[in-house]
A = this chain, B = another copy of it.
């Protein structure tokens, strides 16, 4: 499918798709026509982009998401231990929460003094 179609189906802008493409996060992107330079994006990319959006909700960086995709692409049969991935992300989130709570405490102390 062309970029406009992928944009519609995935819900992200053309620019964003090109941005992901530049980061090499998409798959099966080809330029199949000799008479123009239009690209064809494999339909798997709809799902890829959904996964990106999903993981971003858990504060995964694009770089991390790309690494997961790369692992999967290099070794399609090997199952990624999602639990581990999420657990390490959980730890980071919990650390951030702790830090913010420290800040909160300090602020409360100032306000109540």
A79 to B45, CA, bound (A): 57
Shortest C-beta distance, A56 to chain B (Å), equals 11
**For the complex, is A1 an interface residue (Cβ under 8 Å from B)?**
no
A interface, how many residues as a size bin?
20 to 34
Q: List residues of chain B with CB within 8 A of the CB of A59.
A: 103
Most buried by B among A59, A97, A101, A106: A97
- Please pick, from B57, B87, B93, B107, the residue contacting A93 in the complex, using a CB distance under 8 A: B107
- Which residues of the partner chain B approach A94 to less than 8 Å between Cβ atoms? 104
Contacts of A107 in B (CB 8 A): 58, 86, 89-90, 93
Q: Please, what's the 1-or-0 string for A91-104, where 1 marks a CB less than 8 Å from any CB in chain B? A: 00110110011011
- Which residue numbers of A lie inside 8 Å of B, CB to CB? 57-59, 82-83, 86-87, 89-90, 93-94, 96-97, 100-101, 103-104, 106-108, 110-111
